[in-house]
Amino acid sequence: MEGDTKYAPLGIGILFALLSVLYAIALWCGWDQLKLAIEIVNCSADFLANTKRLLGVPILYYAALFFYFLFWLSCVISVECMGKIVPDPGDDLVYVPLNKDINWGDRKEMGAIVNWMLAFLIFALVWFVFFLQASNNYVVMVTASTYYFTSTREKLGAGQVSTGIRWAWVHNFGSLAFGSIIITIIFLVRTIVYYFFKKAEKLSGDNGCVKCISCVVICFLKCIEEIVEYITRAGFAYMAIAGESFCKSCYDGLILNFKHGIKFGFANYLAWCFIMVGKVGITILNVVLAWLFMSHVTGSAQEVSNPFVPLIFVGVVSYLIVAVFLGLFDESVLAMMTSVCADMDLNGDGKADWGPATLHEVLDSMEDDDDKKDGK
């Protein structure tokens, strides 16, 4: 057994060495694209710094989601109360005021109607959540696109949040709803399939073959969901520029992604790294500050039986809040990269007419490098 495992570190080292070589080759072949991606991330950071009012958009959408959830909950309670309400005093000797029970009687007919209504309400809730998320992302993309196409070498543009909100709720409302319903259907299908496969695993006594089939099918559906989400985000980013319909925007946005695949890949990877560092760093910082506050200011760390419970709560809340606001950065990077690539393709010569001055400096250096390679 020891002979089988003593070469494991060597194999892992060789694997990491091969990955490092492949990564170095990718950097060497796409060094200009990496520089452009870094500048896109920089421009996105400048865009968010100059458009602080955009931070109010996710707060507005979460408030809308909260009030919709209250309305949805009242609808669920109303559906559940469709049966005959009868007093339910419980014990004859003790009477509890307003304690009632719902008597369904023959549940065969009424129960089927109620189940369909509850299924519709669940579908509506999931759809509305995905729609609000898509609408929030689209507002960010439109704002980032207007920032890019109002910027030039001489002046810095301004992101128009009102234009993004108007486009999201007036001009492209149907496209956002249609894209959201596609993601909703795939998500619900994957959830239902996951539920039935887990039931099948239990009924089979955790049979290995059933678990293998379950894993393959669930992974396949998850891959489809990720592909559809990627195409949808690319379509929304292109829609933020052209204002076209959902299907045409998805097609054109996907073609643009294929044409400038390395640029989009580097930009998405860098944005993911920055977002992950921000999430982890801020969450850890808040937890440490909470621990220091409880230990040296209030002294509650020594009084409570388990101080890790409030620290976990602080960590979870911090992570969720940071995830919401740093999500703006991810969408702005995608919108900015789509705008740059579309601008370069519209000119036909690989040059961009719009964008901040720092972006043009990088594009000019890339052009100079190409001229040197061609011997000009």
Structural domain boundaries of the chain? 23-354
Exposed, middle or buried: residue 118 (CB in 10 Å: 0-12, 13-18, 19+)? middle
User: What is the predicted pLDDT for the residue at 2?
Assistant: 45
d(CA 257, CA 251): 10
Instruction: Give the number of residues written for the chain.
Output: 376
d(CA 51, CA 144): 9
Q: Which two tokens stand for residue 310?
A: 């409030």
Exposed, middle or buried: residue 319 (CB in 10 Å: 0-12, 13-18, 19+)? middle
Handedness of CA 26, 27, 28, 31 (dihedral sign): positive
Amino acid letter, 280? V
Report the DSSP beta bridge partners of residue 103.
Answer: 84
Q: Which two tokens stand for residue 70?
A: 């209250």
Q: Which two tokens stand for residue 28?
A: 């060497």
Specify the DSSP class assigned to residue 170. Answer: I
d(CA 89, CA 98): 9
User: What is the predicted pLDDT for the residue at 13?
Assistant: 65
User: What is the predicted pLDDT for the residue at 121?
Assistant: 92
Q: In this structure, how many other beta carbons lie within 10 angstroms of the beta carbon of residue 160?
A: 17
Q: State the DSSP string of 299-313.
A: -HHHHSS-THHHHHH
- The CA distances from residue 4 to 14, 299, 305, 325, 368, in Å, are 16, 53, 47, 48, 54
CB 229 within 8 A of CB 253: no
**Does residue 15 sit in helix, strand or coil?**
helix
User: What is the predicted pLDDT for the residue at 3?
Assistant: 46
Q: Which stretches of the chain score pLDDT less than 70?
A: 1-32, 83-111, 297-305, 348-350, 366-376
